[in-house]
Amino acid sequence: MGLTMFGIGKPSLIGLDIGSSTVKAIELNLKGKDKGFELKGLGIASLPAESIVQGAFLNSGTIVDTIREAVDTGGFKTRDVAVAVSGHSVIVKKVSLPAMNREELEDHIQWEAEQYIPFDVNEVHLDFQILDTSEGEGQMDVLLVAAKKDLVDDYFQVISEAGLNPIAIDVAAFAVENAYEHNYDGSADDVVALVNIGAQVVNINVVERGVPAFTRDITTGGNQYTEEIQKTLSVSFDEAERLKLGGRGPDAEQDVVPQEVEHAVRAVTDIVIGEIARSLDFYAATAADSRIAKILLSGGGAKITGLGSAFAERTGLTVETLDPLARMLPSKGFEPETLAELAPSLGVGIGLATRRVSV
Ligand SMILES: Nc1ncnc2c1ncn2[C@@H]1O[C@H](COP(=O)(O)OP(=O)(O)OP(=O)(O)O)[C@@H](O)[C@H]1O
Ligand SMILES: [Mg+2]
């Protein structure tokens, strides 16, 4: 599953995940189908808070520098990158249309999009994928994707300014799905909810028998925790982030602060899980007889203490953490412990990096 690819069959590319808290750059060597992959290069660099807010690039100079830093750290030879877009400016919709071939749909897509996309079709990049899931006679299911041109232009601009060449653009939720498919066997009947919790955005993708059945991004994530801690303890964002990750403030009273932090984390977890669960309930209400078998969490948010168990309790479902490195072969120069630590947040980047071959 992918959005637009400009140069299929390129020998190598960098999966570039421009997250609002960190930029991740990844290159893989795929060792034949199902045989796993080798990690060739990995670079991660932190973005200062407020560089990207609700999908808007507020400080493109800093974003360019951070992309450069991530790419330099990874030591890549190639300059070609695949990137992912997400958030409010991206819409994914599964629609049922009268059966037609690809060319006919290409002529028709603009018109169809007008019915289903809540944006002016002249202001979006449109893409689609014909799915073979339709059961209706003379009908076909189509996955419609619309991404606001402004957003895509912003990405292309920072990438070019960083000296890189964008050759593929994907939807973050689909990138996570690619990472899942490259690492898990998933039986043909499985319905799996992939939930990628970042700093600002949660990408939800319910994959039904290998096809995205419900894709939605909601605006919440790790920053909501940091902001709550910031408010409760009257500290800066950076200090609150440090406390959230288990650190302590310089003047912190050893036993009071952690308790307040813990309390804030629990309170925000209830809110975040509530929002995600509402989306999953919406899917459940519209899906005929498909039931979610499992939730796979990814993103840095997957590491929030107690989130997985609270989620399992709220939904009654099995909740696990996605390992986008599950099928990785021993790769020279990478510490297994460091990789295990990073793995949850590499879902989008790994998924993008698998676009190296025409998937
Ligand atoms: N061990 C941890 N405990 C709690 N939160 C964590 C932990 N590790 C990372 N996080 C949080 O995860 C978030 C970063 O996750 P991720 O890298 O997936 O986000 P991003 O891709 O940069 O953001 P987005 O996609 O939302 O723009 C941050 O809010 C960070 O504080
Ligand atoms: Mg992200």
Would you kindly state where each structural domain of the chain is located, as residue ranges? 4-224+267-356
**Contact (Cβ atoms closer than 8 angstroms) between residue 172 and residue 86:** yes
Phi (first) and psi of residue 341, to 5 degrees: -65, -40
| Residue 33: predicted pLDDT | 66
Query: Does the pLDDT at position 358 exceed 50?
Result: no
Closest CA to 150 of 67, 218, 217, 89: 89
SS3 164: coil
**Contact (Cβ atoms closer than 8 angstroms) between residue 16 and residue 352:** yes
Query: Does the pLDDT at position 349 exceed 50?
Result: yes
CATH code of 4-224+267-356, in short, is: 3.30.420.380
pLDDT tens per residue across span 234-276? 999 999 999 999 875 555 555 556 799 999 999 999 999 999 9
Ligand in closest contact with the CA of 21:
1
* Distance from the alpha carbon of residue 158 to the mean position of ligand 1, in angstroms: 22
Q: Which amino acid is at 187?
A: S
Instruction: Please list every protein residue whose CB sits less than 6 Å from any atom of ligand 1.
Output: 19-22, 198-201, 221-223, 241, 244-245, 299-301, 303-304, 345
Q: How many Cα neighbours within 13 Å face the side chain of 203?
A: 29
Query: Which of 21, 155, 269 maximizes ligand 1 atoms within 8 Å of its Cβ, making it the mutation to test the pocket?
Result: 21
| Residue 252: predicted pLDDT | 53
Reported as a pLDDT band with limits 50, 70 and 90, residue 36 is: confident
**pTM of the shown model:** 0.94
In terms of pLDDT, which residue wins out, 287 or 216? 216
* Distance from the alpha carbon of residue 105 to the mean position of ligand 1, in angstroms: 39
* Distance from the alpha carbon of residue 357 to the mean position of ligand 1, in angstroms: 28
**Contact (Cβ atoms closer than 8 angstroms) between residue 268 and residue 224:** yes
